[in-house]
Amino acid sequence: MPLRVQLGASVTLPCSVDTPIPLHELEVQWMRDSGSLVHLFLEGESRPESQSPAYSGRAEFFTEEISKGNFSLLLRNVTTEDRGMYKCVVHTEHESNETNVTIDTEWLVVTGADVPVFAYAGEDVILNCSVDTHVPLRELEVEWMKTNEEIQVLLFMEGRYRPESQPERFRGRAEFFSEEIPKGNFSMKLRDVKTEDRGEFMCIVHTDRESVNATAYVQELGMYNKAR
């Protein structure tokens, strides 16, 4: 199974032997499937000067573990470009062996609004929620909650909007922008703002591996006056 890593996190790529090998007989190469060199151990020491520039300062051995037969590699600040297969090749004077490790990245970023949305009672407002992920839409679950009352306002699940889940209070007033959902825009339009709508709303995005949320606030100012 691939190692699933969040973007920006660190991961250890495992590679070890049962019996320690004398360091002077040992050469360890970590390679990408593209052929680029991730790291090299040769003639008793690490050789960072041999690394591909993409891994300089990000990939390193656990130096104190090498004499024990542990050639695992620490990769920091994982990026989307790091996805793919890695090969650990261990050479001695008499033989060579290798093992493969695959990295897959988890990417889920949810962005809301930085400032409250101000509205008069009776106006319509838009509460922003933008989702950046490589997870397919059918694997996402997105819900808008009125947090102080723990009320589910809107739900997107299994690839479609679920209006039947809405409470009566928000039915016909709260909705997604359906045509924007494929672009990752799960903003909510709230019609005819009422005094009881004031407060915090939360956009919560679930995948089968993680859950991320963003908040938005409605600040109601009073009665809407069309003449103003």
Q: Mind spelling out the 3-state secondary structure of 103-158?
A: EEEECEEEECCCCCEEEEECCCEEECCEEEECCCHHHCEEEEEECCCCEEEEEEEC
Nearest Cα residue to 150 out of 131, 167, 130 = 167
92: amino acid identity, one letter: T
Position 209 confidence tier, pLDDT thresholds 50, 70, 90: confident
Give me the CATH topology for the region 3-106: Immunoglobulin-like (2.60.40)
Q: Tell me the CATH number for domain 108-223.
A: 2.60.40.10
Domain boundaries, the chain: 3-106, 108-223
First to last CA, the chain: 63
Same fold, 3-106 and 108-223: yes
Tell whether pTM > 0.75: no
CB atoms within 10 A of CB 78: 20
Rounded to 5 degrees, what are φ and ψ at 83? -65, 140
pLDDT digits (tens, 9 = 90+) for 90-125: 998 888 999 999 998 766 778 887 788 998 889 999
Residue 173 has pLDDT above 90, yes or no: yes
Residue linked to tokens 């962005």: 111
Position 227 confidence tier, pLDDT thresholds 50, 70, 90: very low
Mean confidence (pLDDT) of the chain: 89
Say what the pLDDT of residue 110 is: 84
